[in-house]
Amino acid sequence: AVYGAIGAKFVQLGREGGLLGYPLTDELGTPDGVGRFNRFQRGMIYWTPATDAHEVHGAILALWESMGWETSWLGYPVSDELPSNDGRASNFQHGIIFWNATRGAIALTDVITLDSGPITFSDSTALGGWCRLVINRNGDVTFSGHMHDSGFDTYEFAVAAVALTPSGIGYTVSYSGRAEGTSAGLPFGTPRRDDDWTESGNNPPIRDNWIEAAQSVFKVRVVSQDKLAGGLSDVVQDALKDLAKQGIEAGVKALIALVFA
């Protein structure tokens, strides 16, 4: 039997002549005791008191099933399948599954952390550290990092970084700072060897282009402050090469500097 909110959704989708075809099961309960569902010839409808009834089908359903259905980190669906960018997407409680003909179906969380990994130099520069860009589906962005001078000389530095999407949109961030070496403390002072930073802000372009932003390749370069523009150009090119290795041919369509309030 198909009834209640699931039945209403089935009717909305065109009944047996619509998207899902004929029902294959009666309404059943989920293992957690929260949800209800019906399986149909070409998909499923899930319902919970908090999320209402939504259909899931095709490649998006196949990926969600492989992840463990509602027991996965995605949770329950909160939308039907919708057109999105150059593909289709279904929203879940804790993320989204996106599909297009080129990349297939992929699951994306609501928060993406992009790490530089250790920042080091191949020459004798006694400067190193890391940086991190955390982007949220609602557009909130945090750029943080740490640089340490372990040598004698003092360094004025700039961090140039880009999060480059598969479609060629580059979200850029930068930070200029100073880490002091032993020379800054002579003869009796203590050098300020560490430079730590955290900057936060809300950026609507991230929110409005989340599916692409969440698939970004992150590249970072540390340069002297007067070479910041050149450093940014280099990291964009490095990011394009990484996308090419993944089989994604992206040209640079636009560079958007993220804003921190």
Both 119 and 246 in a single domain? yes
Domain that holds residue 83: 4-109
- What's the rounded Cα separation, in Å, for the pair 157 and 53? 54
Q: Could you read off the pLDDT of 109-124 as tens digits, one per residue? A: 999 999 999 999 888 8
Q: Could you read off the pLDDT of 32-91 as tens digits, one per residue? A: 999 999 999 999 999 999 999 999 999 999 999 999 999 999 999 999 999 987 899 999
Strand partners, 200: 142
Both 192 and 80 in a single domain? no
Both 89 and 145 in a single domain? no
Rounded to the nearest integer, the mean pLDDT of the chain is 93
Instruction: Please determine, for residue 202, whether its predicted confidence score (pLDDT) is greater than 90.
Output: yes
| Band (248; pLDDT cuts 50, 70, 90) | confident
Domain boundary among 72, 89, 109: 109
Of the listed ranges 133-142, 153-162, 238-247, the least confidently predicted one is 238-247
Indicate the residue type of 97: I
Instruction: Please determine, for residue 154, whether its predicted confidence score (pLDDT) is greater than 80.
Output: yes
Report how many domains make up the chain.
Answer: 2
Both 222 and 130 in a single domain? yes
